[in-house]
């Protein structure tokens, strides 16, 4: 059995994506979880993972200059497109992109490329199932590659546990990390808020999914705060062939649950919790039947 992979995206921050994702994790039957927001992860605040294994993630390589061998010829300074080596041959590590050009042109063999630890990958247990997640170290880039590590970790966990669903909390935006998170998923759920910027974030996320031939589904969160905008978003989605689910209501339970570090569906059985339960049933109908 191959697990179905569902990516939860928003296209912009602040739509309540993580609130939705955490409750889906609570509602699914023994899912595998993946937090692909490696720059500023926050799913762990609600799921309280206990780390079982971890390994370092090696990002871009870093140039190192051996001052004893260097004759200050200046070739490395001239070839570096990232201005990482000054005229007096001082390396700025934060600017080095690991392209290796300087090590190739150096006539003295004074430059060596070394691995640089850019982050950490974790496999943790949560009260809902195993979770793959990661943390990029301060000042490091290449988070798309780290997201791929999290994804392959979650695939391995699904295979080991025979899980039916992998639920993936996507990174914000539509850049390299989002594209990595999108790779090979069965469907995307876009969580939108009923504002103009919410509509723009939604359309960016849907267009990204469609660009990679991934079916998109959508739900408007806190819909009654602006029902007219919610309607505009839903109509746009339907025009794009996006499956639109029942709206989620504004409910202070979202904040109360966050403060209590619990998911909404664990916190109470109010309007939002009921909406989330309905949402998971609707998602399963589409994911397990239509995309089977």
**Distance between CA atoms of 192 and 233, rounded to whole angstroms?**
8
118 lines the binding site for ligand SF4 (CB under 6 A): no
Which is nearest to 209 in space by CA: 9, 3, 36, 60?
9
**Distance between CA atoms of 169 and 203, rounded to whole angstroms?**
18
117, containing H or E segment: strand 117-125
| Shortest reach from residue 193's CB to ligand SF4, in Å | 40
Contact status, residue 96 vs residue 150, Cβ threshold 8 Å: no
282, containing H or E segment: helix 271-285
> Which of 33, 36, 38, 96: binder of ligand SF4 (CB under 6 A)?
96
142 lines the binding site for ligand SF4 (CB under 6 A): no
**Distance between CA atoms of 18 and 43, rounded to whole angstroms?**
6
Residue 143 phi/psi, 5-degree rounding, is: -70, -20
| Shortest reach from residue 113's CB to ligand SF4, in Å | 7
Smaller CB separation from ligand SF4, 107 or 162: 107
97 lines the binding site for ligand SF4 (CB under 6 A): yes
Candidate ranges 82-90, 170-178, 192-200, 206-214; the one touching ligand SF4 (CB under 6 A) = 82-90
Candidate ranges 30-38, 64-72, 169-177, 255-263; the one touching ligand SF4 (CB under 6 A) = 64-72
59 lines the binding site for ligand SF4 (CB under 6 A): no
Smaller CB separation from ligand SF4, 96 or 167: 96
124 lines the binding site for ligand SF4 (CB under 6 A): no
112 lines the binding site for ligand SF4 (CB under 6 A): no
| Shortest reach from residue 249's CB to ligand SF4, in Å | 51
Residue 183 phi/psi, 5-degree rounding, is: -60, 120
> Which of 14, 42, 56, 72: binder of ligand SF4 (CB under 6 A)?
72
Smaller CB separation from ligand SF4, 65 or 123: 65
**Distance between CA atoms of 273 and 271, rounded to whole angstroms?**
6
33 lines the binding site for ligand SF4 (CB under 6 A): no
CB neighbour list of residue 186: distance below 8 Å, 6 or more residues apart: 4, 5, 6, 214, 215, 287, 291
Point out which residues pair with 56 in neighbouring strands: 120
| Shortest reach from residue 175's CB to ligand SF4, in Å | 21
Interface residues toward ligand SF4, by CB under 6 A: 63, 65, 70-76, 79-80, 82, 84-85, 89, 96-102, 106, 108, 110-111
């Amino acid at each position: 059995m191959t697990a179905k992979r569902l990516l939860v995206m928003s296209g912009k921050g602040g739509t309540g994506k993580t609130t939705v994702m955490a409750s889906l994790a609570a509602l699914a039957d023994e899912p595998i979880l993946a937090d692909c927001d490696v720059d500023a992860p926050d799913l762990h605040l609600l799921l309280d993972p206990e780390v079982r294994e971890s390994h370092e993630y090696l990002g871009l390589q870093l140039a190192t200059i051996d001052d004893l061998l260097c004759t200050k010829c200046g070739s490395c300074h001239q070839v570096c497109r990232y201005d990482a080596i000054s005229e007096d041959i001082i390396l700025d590590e934060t600017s080095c992109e690991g392209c290796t050009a300087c090590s190739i042109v150096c006539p003295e063999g004074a430059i060596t490329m070394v691995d640089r630890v850019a982050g950490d990958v974790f496999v943790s247990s949560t009260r809902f199932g195993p979770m793959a997640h990661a943390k990029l170290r301060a000042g490091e880039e290449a988070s798309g590659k780290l997201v791929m590590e999290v994804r392959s970790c979650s695939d391995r966990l699904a295979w080991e546990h025979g899980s039916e669903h992998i639920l993936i909390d996507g990174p914000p935006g539509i850049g390299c990390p989002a594209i990595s998170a999108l790779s090979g998923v069965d469907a995307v759920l876009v969580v939108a808020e009923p504002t103009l910027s919410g509509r723009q974030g939604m359309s960016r996320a849907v267009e990204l999914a469609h660009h990679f031939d991934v079916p998109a589904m959508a739900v408007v969160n806190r819909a009654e705060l602006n029902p007219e905008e919610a309607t505009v978003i839903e109509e746009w989605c339907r025009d794009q062939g996006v499956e639109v689910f029942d709206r989620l209501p504004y409910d202070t339970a979202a904040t109360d649950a966050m403060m209590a570090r619990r998911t909404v569906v664990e916190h109470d059985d109010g309007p939002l919790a009921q909406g989330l339960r309905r949402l998971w049933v609707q998602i399963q109908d589409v994911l397990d039947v239509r995309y089977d």
